[in-house]
């Protein structure tokens, strides 16, 4: 492994063979325009210190400068459909009480009483309340945040409806997801979202409902957890399904400052696969390993497995959700397309891979985090969408396969968990005190790490 004169400049090297962009252009159905955008970045190649994961001081700085300042999705509009519905979102020491007012407006309050600080609603709770009453002495606010009752009012001449309103925090909605920001001086959500609204215009995330909601405790820092899902470089080793592994073609983009993306194709061999599969072998792989279906399928003459399988998926999902998906491109139907929104959210626009992720730190242990996984499905054409399901709680040792709705994906997610624990132990055991990243395939890891550092060093989100 030596550098030579004809090597590309640092950060410009790409895997041999066709690029993902070329693969998408070869599909019979043209992909949506955002999928053809390429935005690679080279952010340097120096090692990044492990201290970012396991230092309590660093975690404390994150609470102060990142979690207290950055926009985060707190819930979905379907969690609070009616006036009086509320839900609590917590991250570390922060807690937001999000409610729907009589007028149908979504508001978010700092979840603390204006009397002596008691949390108005318990962590992670949800429910219905006509008014917000503190459980300690009974001070009560309307859903609009007006102070409407103070028991023994005679003792509080210094308290008025005006002086002790419940303070609101910035709140915004994007495609059905309710975002909050604990910083009173936060900039607008739309600015923070960067390219997301434009890229997602055609993908109708607001037209989906939460079919499955799972929360799992993970054996690693929240950044290591997020980073386990941010590159496809690990697929060949961690998710190897055969002798030669399962190399994929992937494209990595960073849309500064807050968004990054990967797209990796499904149903096409990656450029580094030593012996390409025949189309029949590929179809068998798609049905068996990707979707865990056992019945053999016959590939029509002259058709690629990817195209055939995409049509099949559209038909099956169309029947299941009583919608017509036949206009969708092969890419949006099958591929793993993942948008990251700093600091902790991932959104997948695909038809068959329709996930949303969220990662949060454990306030008591830098080596523990919480991962939420939502499966978002098309809303029925007629009638209301099903209400959000109960959250399936999984502890560190619980297999994702306990969540039947994940199907074969459960086994794949399990393969990632083992890496997280091993990596966290290695952060401490390593003589080398930092990680070395691939310039292209791991550019999103570096983007995340540098954004965290930027928040801490500048005090700005
Ligand atoms: S602390 Fe809330 S009413 Fe006293
Ligand atoms: Fe993985």
The overall average pLDDT reported for the chain is 94
Among 126-135, 147-156, 307-316, 400-409, name the one with the lowest average pLDDT.
400-409
pLDDT digits (tens, 9 = 90+) for 56-98: 999 999 999 999 999 999 999 999 999 999 999 999 999 999 9
- Cα(first)–Cα(last) distance of the chain, in Å? 40
Among 33-37, 242-246, 270-274, 436-440, name the one with the lowest average pLDDT.
242-246
Q: What is the pLDDT of residue 166?
A: 98
Neighbouring residues of 321: CB distance < 8 A, sequence distance ≥ 6: 377, 378, 380
Q: What is the pLDDT of residue 461?
A: 78
In angstroms, the Cα distances linking 347 to 121, 214, 379 are 29, 15, 17
Average pLDDT over residues 302-308: 95
pTM for this entry? 0.96
- Ligand 1 atom with the smallest distance to the CA of 138 is 3
In angstroms, the Cα distances linking 144 to 79, 108, 327 are 18, 10, 44
Q: Which of 115, 131, 132, 149 to mutate to test the pocket of ligand 1 (most atoms within 8 A of CB)?
A: 115
pLDDT digits (tens, 9 = 90+) for 263-285: 999 998 887 788 888 999 999 88
Q: Quick one: pLDDT band at residue 243, thresholds 50, 70, 90? A: very low
Whose alpha carbon is nearest atom 4 of ligand 1? 137
For ligand 1, whether the C-beta of 139 sits within 6 Å is: yes
Average pLDDT over residues 141-166: 98
CA distance 119 to 278: 61
pLDDT digits (tens, 9 = 90+) for 341-368: 999 999 999 999 999 999 999 999 999 9
Task: Tell me which ligand sits closest to the C-alpha of residue 113.
Answer: 1
Residue 209's beta-bridge partner residues? 377
Strands 392-394 and 208-218: parallel
At CA 236, angle to CA 258 and CA 244, rounded to 5?
160
CATH number for the 20-52+207-458 domain, one of 3.90.380, 1.20.950, 1.10.3710, 3.40.50?
3.90.380
- Inform me whether the pLDDT recorded for 131 exceeds 50: yes
Report the share of the chain in percent with pLDDT over 70.
Answer: 96
Whose alpha carbon is nearest atom 3 of ligand 1? 137
Which pair of tokens denotes residue 203? Answer: 């993908």
- Inform me whether the pLDDT recorded for 244 exceeds 50: no
At CA 408, angle to CA 411 and CA 261, rounded to 5?
80
Q: What is the CATH number of domain 72-190?
A: 2.102.10.10
- Inform me whether the pLDDT recorded for 1 exceeds 90: no
Q: What is the pLDDT of residue 284?
A: 87
Task: Tell me which ligand sits closest to the C-alpha of residue 234.
Answer: 2
For ligand 1, whether the C-beta of 115 sits within 6 Å is: yes
Domain ranges of the chain: 20-52+207-458, 72-190
Q: Which of 109, 111, 134 to mutate to test the pocket of ligand 1 (most atoms within 8 A of CB)?
A: 134
Q: Which of 117, 131, 118, 119 is nearest to 86 (CA)?
A: 131
């Amino acid at each position: 492994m030596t550098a030579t004169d004809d090597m590309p400049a640092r950060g410009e090297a790409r895997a041999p063979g066709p690029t993902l962009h070329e693969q998408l252009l070869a599909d019979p159905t043209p992909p949506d325009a955002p999928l053809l955008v390429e935005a690679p970045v080279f952010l340097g190649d120096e090692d990044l210190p492990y201290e970012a994961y396991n230092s309590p001081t660093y975690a404390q700085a994150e609470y102060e400068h990142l979690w207290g300042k950055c926009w985060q999705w707190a819930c979905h509009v379907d969690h609070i459909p009616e006036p009086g519905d509320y839900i609590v979102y917590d991250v570390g020491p922060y807690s937001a009480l999000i409610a729907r007012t009589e007028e149908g407006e979504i508001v978010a309050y700092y979840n603390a009483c204006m009397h002596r600080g008691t949390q108005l609603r318990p962590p992670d709770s949800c429910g219905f309340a006509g008014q917000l009453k503190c459980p300690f002495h009974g001070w009560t606010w309307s859903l609009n945040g007006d102070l409407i009752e103070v028991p023994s009012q005679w003792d509080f001449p210094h308290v008025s409806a005006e002086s002790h309103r419940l303070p609101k925090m910035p709140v915004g909605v994007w495609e059905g997801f309710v975002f909050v920001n604990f910083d009173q001086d936060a900039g607008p959500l739309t600015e923070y979202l960067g390219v997301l609204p434009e890229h997602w215009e055609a993908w109708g995330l607001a037209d989906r409902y939460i079919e499955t909601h799972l929360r799992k405790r993970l054996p690693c820092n929240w950044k290591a957890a997020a980073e386990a899902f941010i590159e496809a470089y690990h697929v060949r080793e961690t998710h190897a399904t055969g002798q030669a592994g399962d190399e994929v073609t992937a494209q990595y983009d960073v849309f500064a400052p807050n968004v990054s993306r990967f797209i990796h194709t499904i149903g096409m061999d990656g450029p580094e696969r030593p012996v390409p599969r025949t189309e029949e072998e590929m179809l068998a792989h798609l049905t068996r390993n990707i979707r865990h279906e056992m019945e053999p399928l016959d590939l029509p003459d002259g058709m690629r497995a990817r195209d055939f399988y995409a049509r099949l998926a559209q038909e099956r999902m169309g029947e299941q959700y009583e919608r017509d998906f036949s206009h969708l491109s092969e890419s949006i139907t099958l591929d793993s397309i993942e948008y990251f929104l700093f600091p902790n959210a991932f959104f997948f626009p695909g038809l068959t891979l329709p996930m949303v992720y969220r990662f949060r730190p454990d306030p008591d242990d830098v080596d523990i985090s919480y991962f939420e996984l939502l499966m978002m499905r098309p809303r029925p054409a007629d009638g209301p969408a099903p209400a959000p399901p109960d959250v399936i709680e999984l502890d560190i040792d619980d297999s994702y396969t306990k969540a039947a709705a994940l199907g074969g994906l459960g086994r794949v997610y399990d393969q990632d968990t083992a890496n997280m624990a091993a990596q966290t132990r290695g952060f401490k055991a390593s003589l080398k005190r930092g990680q070395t990243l691939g310039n292209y395939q791991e550019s999103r890891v570096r983007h995340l790490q540098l954004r965290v550092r930027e928040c801490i060093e500048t005090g700005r989100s």
